[in-house]
Amino acid sequence: MNRVYPWHIIGGVTADGLSFRTWRRGLVYDCEDTQDAKAKISAPQDEFPHICGLDNFRRGDTKVRTYILAAILAHRDAAADSVRETAIIDFGRQGCHEQNLEYFNDYLEHGRHLGRGHLFVGTLPTTPPCEAAISLKLNGPGIYMDALDRFNVLWDEVSNFFEMPWIQRVMVCRFESGKLTVLLIERGGETEIPDGIDPETLVRQTFPAE
């Protein structure tokens, strides 16, 4: 059964490895590495959004960098600047398991003494969306949620954020098997959501490729 929600999708991005595609405008960025991706995606000065800072881009791992760049592209796809009243929800089951292993193995390899701090910071599943929030100055709530892939929970949670009167947009992220999907959703309008649909399928259905 479809459900109708009081919001609408204004932009969407998928990143398969370092191949980025926006679904509303059909922009494609095939990149060799994250520095190449940063150069290509942040270069157009006359395009949205205004980027608050990529000074610490090198701080994060590939996953963090992909989140930052996909968040920028979701705004570009919507042809909209970022607004600070934007909430972020990252929805999945993988959490930061890879990053946990990387930190702990590094700690063990260094004789169970001090590990590397930046690797420990990466052991929170909210680190990638928060780094995206820093780059775009998004001051709304930020959470990671794992509901064992009950996707209706995700869409309800988006509506939940809009119960907060000051929230204007919600950015939905989902990282699964090396593929990241980011949707930018705005308050108002109506969207009919098929029961149990995942973000990637939804963005493809919302903005079908020509």
Q: Tell me how far, at minimum, the Cβ of 200 lies from other proteins, in Å.
A: 19
CA 200, 18, 168, 53: dihedral to nearest 10 degrees? 170
Nearer to other proteins, 188 or 208 (CB): 188
What is the C-alpha to C-alpha distance for residues 50 and 120, in angstroms, rounded to an integer?
30
Nearer to other proteins, 23 or 92 (CB): 92
Nearer to other proteins, 28 or 114 (CB): 114
Pairing label, strands 86-91, 28-30: unpaired
Q: Catalog residues that contact other proteins under the rule CB under 8 A.
A: 52, 56, 59, 84, 87-88, 93-97, 100-101, 103-104, 107, 112-117, 120-121, 123-127, 129-131, 133-134, 136-148, 150, 153, 156-157, 159-160, 163-166
Helix (H, G, I), strand (E, B) or coil at 175: strand
Nearer to other proteins, 40 or 84 (CB): 84
CB burial of 178-208 (b: ≥16 within 10 Å; e: otherwise) equals: eebbbbbbbeeeebebeeebebbebbeebbe
Query: Is-contact 187 169, C-beta < 8 A?
Result: yes
Nearer to other proteins, 2 or 210 (CB): 2
Q: Tell me how far, at minimum, the Cβ of 26 lies from other proteins, in Å.
A: 29
Q: Tell me how far, at minimum, the Cβ of 209 lies from other proteins, in Å.
A: 32
What is the C-alpha to C-alpha distance for residues 154 and 176, in angstroms, rounded to an integer?
15
Q: Tell me how far, at minimum, the Cβ of 121 lies from other proteins, in Å.
A: 6
Angle between helices 34-42 and 62-77 (to 10 degrees): 20
Q: Tell me how far, at minimum, the Cβ of 50 lies from other proteins, in Å.
A: 14
